[in-house]
């Protein structure tokens, strides 16, 4: 039996812990004036105005001129630095003091008396100078204290993931914590991976002790967004929604990431800048805009807002494993599309094109297609459909989407500093399930309307937040093949054993992995577990991972079709053929299979012969 499937957890990796600079003892200083000059340099590095720093350095020199011992002067120096750091850049101060390890112990010393009013004045002047610098920098100002914090919540989820090997049960309960943010309509926005398969969800406000029960109102696994409703809506009387930005941020704009990462209980805030904006894949096959930031995002930040000024620019959801300071947020534009989609109570999904494309950068390819120098676009390598009515053809060159030109890499310009894949505009230009394209075909320009949809049909589809369907017939369990089932077999430690074995036997789980249905509604049916123990299985090899080809000579289209064929069978024997090479064809006495099923279910602790959808088919005409 292969190991349990790996569950995709976008809730990131543990944060880096240390090592921190060692604390060294204070030096025995003979060159006191050199020490004072070094202090002057540090104070300037903390962004204090030079005039202010010079004034305070003179005050620090007074004890030495009066014959004060160097050790006492050193304590005064550290007191000065400690006082200066409070109203200035705290993050910079911490980094400088850690980097200069020898100052760490000096900060523990008791400073000699420095006029309190003088230090307070230094703090005010430093803060004013820093404020003036920020105002002229072009970066977004930090939000007012409490505006954001009051809208960010901690999310607690208890989840039971599907057991794809035993689809009649679920994996043991697991708990996770993340973040969320209050939005309009008395709702909370978070990540889908925080609440998928959750049996219990609770939220807790910042600095609050009580947890409030919540329910999942809508979820979109593809774009990783979810909306929660609270049982006690009086919560929103004191926790207003956080406003969202109506435009994308600029590259290098300042951003603050808020959330509840591991390592503490209270709200965490990290600071960074916007590094990159792209239109890229989220969870296959869904794509969307994604913003990269360098603010620290760690486990538990998922679902927390990223804020520029006093408005949210996106929702944290992931970071790049193995890299430093590369975190990702879902921009407000994607959030708005999601909220508009669920306004009718149903999530339909994002429209997308599923044609295979290739760039037009190679000169020989341009010559082969007989394209003029002024023609730019992306080449249709394989149209999504081979139907003659489908509007795209192989070797078509897509030059425009709507009125927007497409370049030879398939990119479009959104601004002077931002290019994204042209498929970004599908979600903006699609009307009634079609998107307008201009193509060059055999040297002529043609306008076409290409059908787009939210789902990519596959004979092995993803679960998309659902539990797998199943049906038990005698000692044989059957289930719909899913991407999660195959990935559990072919990745990780199990993959080194199962992948070669499945490929050698030409098992459709690998040979048809990326195929579209050959007929409408086709989905592979697999045996997800070994036989249940019973004498009816005597002498047969284990059919685990086998894909059902036919029952009594009838080709099986999907699991529902299999249940129909078994239900309506009148023959004495049930003959099951499998699709892999080198497998067996199994014959079972139909009457004995029916009689043994209930006993087998009871002996193995299986509560139901099938999932609700399959039982509805089984009982339809009985």
Q: What is the pLDDT of residues 31-58, one digit of tens each?
A: 333 443 444 444 434 344 444 445 544 5
Question: What is the chain's mean pLDDT, rounded?
Answer: 82
Q: What is the pLDDT of residues 194-231, one digit of tens each?
A: 999 999 999 999 988 899 999 999 999 999 999 999 99
**224 in catalytic set:** yes
pLDDT of residue 622: 59
Q: Give yes or no for residue 358 having a pLDDT over 70.
A: yes
pLDDT range class, residue 510, cuts 50, 70, 90:
very high
- Classify residue 517 as exposed, middle or buried by CB count within 10 Å of its CB (0-12, 13-18, 19+): middle
Q: Give yes or no for residue 518 having a pLDDT over 70.
A: yes
Per-residue DSSP letter, 46: T
Q: What is the pLDDT of residues 575-608, one digit of tens each?
A: 999 999 988 999 999 999 999 999 999 999 999 9
Q: Which of 529, 510, 512 is nearest to 470 (CA)?
A: 529
| Model confidence, pTM | 0.74
**193 in catalytic set:** yes
Q: What is the pLDDT of residues 88-139, one digit of tens each?
A: 333 333 333 333 333 333 232 333 333 333 334 434 444 444 444 443 333 4
pLDDT of residue 506: 95
pLDDT of residue 144: 54
Task: Pick the range with the lowest mean pLDDT from 84-88, 130-134, 523-527, 547-551.
Answer: 84-88
pLDDT of residue 175: 94
pLDDT of residue 21: 28
Q: Give yes or no for residue 398 having a pLDDT over 70.
A: yes
Query: What percentage of residues in the chain have a pLDDT greater than 70?
Result: 77
pLDDT of residue 142: 52
**294 in catalytic set:** no
Residue 590, number of CB atoms within 10 A of its CB: 19
CA–CA gap between residue 206 and residue 65 (Å, rounded): 52
CA–CA gap between residue 457 and residue 480 (Å, rounded): 14
pLDDT of residue 591: 96
CA–CA gap between residue 258 and residue 379 (Å, rounded): 42
Q: Taking residues 129-151, report their average pLDDT.
A: 55
Handedness of CA 601, 537, 469, 171 (dihedral sign): positive
Check residues 547 and 119 and name the one with the higher pLDDT. Answer: 547
Set 163, 224, 294, 396: catalytic member? 224
551 neighbors 565 (Cβ within 8 angstroms) = yes
CA–CA gap between residue 299 and residue 176 (Å, rounded): 10
452 neighbors 436 (Cβ within 8 angstroms) = no
Set 190, 193, 529, 611: catalytic member? 193
pLDDT of residue 310: 85
Check residues 140 and 507 and name the one with the higher pLDDT. Answer: 507
Q: What is the pLDDT of residues 237-254, one digit of tens each?
A: 999 999 999 999 999 999
**Could you please report the per-residue DSSP string of 287-322?**
EEEEEEE-S---TT-TTPEEEETTEEEEEEEEE-TT
pLDDT range class, residue 493, cuts 50, 70, 90:
confident
pLDDT range class, residue 540, cuts 50, 70, 90:
very high
**Encoded tokens for 613:** 């959808």
Per-residue DSSP letter, 30: S
- Cite the DSSP H helix spans in 109-181: 116-135
C-alpha dist (Å) from residue 279 to 237, 275, 289, 385, 476: 37, 14, 4, 24, 45
pLDDT of residue 319: 80
Q: Give yes or no for residue 298 having a pLDDT over 70.
A: yes
Q: Which domains does the chain have, with CATH numbers?
A: 1-18+138-349 (2.40.10.120), 32-135 (no CATH), 356-451 (2.30.42.10), 470-618 (3.20.190.20)
C-alpha dist (Å) from residue 205 to 149, 194, 231, 297, 564: 9, 17, 14, 20, 51
Query: What percentage of residues in the chain have a pLDDT greater than 90?
Result: 69
pLDDT range class, residue 559, cuts 50, 70, 90:
very high
Q: Taking residues 150-170, report their average pLDDT.
A: 96
Q: What is the 3-state secondary structure (H, E, C) of 520-582?
A: CCCCCEECCCCCCCCHHHCCCCCCCCCEEEEECCEECCCHHHHHHHHHHCCCCEEEEEECCCC
Sheet strand arrangement including 470-473: 470-473, 476-480, 525-526
Residue where the block lists tokens 């059908």: 451
Q: Give yes or no for residue 365 having a pLDDT over 80.
A: yes
pLDDT of residue 71: 42
pLDDT of residue 82: 37
CA angle, corner 292, sides to 258 and 347, nearest 5? 75
pLDDT of residue 324: 78
Q: Give yes or no for residue 62 having a pLDDT over 70.
A: no
Set 302, 318, 469, 479: catalytic member? 302
**Could you please report the per-residue DSSP string of 335-365?**
HHHHHHHGGGS------B---EEE----HHH
Instruction: Read off φ and ψ for residue 335, nearest 5 degrees.
Output: -65, -45
């Amino acid at each position: 039996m292969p190991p349990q499937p790996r569950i995709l957890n976008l809730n990131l990796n543990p944060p880096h812990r240390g090592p921190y600079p060692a604390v060294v003892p204070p030096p025995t200083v003979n060159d006191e004036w050199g020490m004072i000059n070094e202090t002057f340099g540090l104070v300037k590095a903390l962004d204090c105005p030079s005039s202010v720093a010079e004034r305070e350095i003179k005050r620090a020199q007074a004890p030495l001129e009066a014959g004060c011992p160097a050790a006492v002067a050193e304590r005064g120096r550290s007191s000065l630095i400690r006082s200066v750091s409070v109203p200035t850049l705290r993050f910079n101060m911490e980094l400088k003091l850690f980097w200069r390890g020898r100052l760490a112990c000096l900060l523990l010393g008791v400073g000699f008396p420095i006029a309190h009013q003088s230090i307070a004045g230094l703090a005010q002047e430093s803060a004013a100078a820093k404020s003036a610098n920020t105002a002229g920098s072009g970066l977004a100002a930090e939000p007012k204290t409490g505006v954001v914090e009051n809208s960010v919540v901690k999310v607690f989820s208890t989840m039971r993931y599907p057991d794809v090997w035993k689809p009649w049960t679920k994996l043991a309960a697991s708990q996770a914590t993340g973040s969320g943010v209050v939005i309009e309509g008395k709702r909370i926005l978070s990540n889908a991976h925080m609440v998928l398969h959750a049996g219990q969800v609770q939220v807790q406000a910042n600095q609050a002790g009580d947890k409030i029960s919540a329910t999942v109102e809508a979820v979109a696994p593809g774009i990783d967004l979810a909306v929660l409703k609270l049982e006690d809506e009086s919560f929103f009387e004191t926790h207003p929604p956080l406003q969202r930005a109506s435009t994308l941020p600029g590259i290098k704009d300042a951003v603050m990431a808020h959330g509840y990462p591991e390592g503490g209980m209270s709200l965490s805030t990290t600071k960074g800048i916007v590094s990159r904006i792209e239109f890229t894949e989220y969870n296959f096959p869904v794509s969307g805009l994604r913003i990269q930031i360098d603010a620290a995002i760690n486990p538990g930040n998922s679902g927390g807002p990223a804020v520029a000024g006093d408005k949210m620019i996106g929702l944290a959801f992931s970071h790049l494993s193995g890299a430093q300071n590369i975190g990702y947020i879902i921009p407000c534009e994607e959030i708005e599309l999601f909220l508009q989609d669920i306004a009718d109570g149903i999530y339909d999904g994002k429209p997308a094109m599923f044609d295979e494309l290739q760039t037009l950068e190679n000169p020989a390819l341009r010559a082969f297609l007989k394209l003029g120098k002024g023609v730019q676009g992306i080449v249709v390598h394989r149209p999504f459909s081979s139907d003659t009515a489908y509007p795209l053809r192989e070797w078509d060159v897509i030059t425009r989407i709507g009125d927007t030109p497409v370049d030879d890499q398939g990119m479009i310009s959104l601004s002077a500093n931002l290019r994204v894949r042209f498929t970004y505009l599908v979600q903006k230009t699609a009307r009634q399930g079609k998107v307008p394209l201009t193509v060059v075909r055999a040297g002529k320009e043609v306008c076409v309307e290409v059908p787009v949809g939210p789902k990519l049909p596959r004979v092995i589809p993803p679960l998309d937040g659902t539990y797998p369907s199943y049906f038990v017939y005698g000692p044989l369990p059957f289930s719909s093949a899913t991407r999660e089932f195959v990935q559990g077999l072919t990745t990780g430690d199990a993959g080194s054993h199962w992948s070669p074995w499945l490929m050698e036997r030409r098992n459709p789980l690998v040979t048809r992995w990326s195929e579209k249905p050959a007929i409408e509604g086709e989905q592979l049916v697999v045996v997800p577990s070994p036989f249940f123990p019973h004498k009816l299985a005597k002498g047969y090899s284990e059919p685990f991972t086998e894909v059902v080809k036919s029952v009594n000579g009838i080709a099986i289209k999907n699991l529902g079709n299999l249940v129909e064929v078994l239900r309506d069978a009148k023959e004495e024997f049930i003959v099951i053929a499998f699709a892999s090479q080198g497998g067996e064809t199994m014959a079972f006495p139909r009457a004995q299979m029916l009689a043994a099923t209930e006993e087998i279910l009871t002996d193995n602790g299986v509560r139901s012969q099938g999932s609700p959808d399959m039982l509805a088919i089984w009982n339809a005409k009985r």
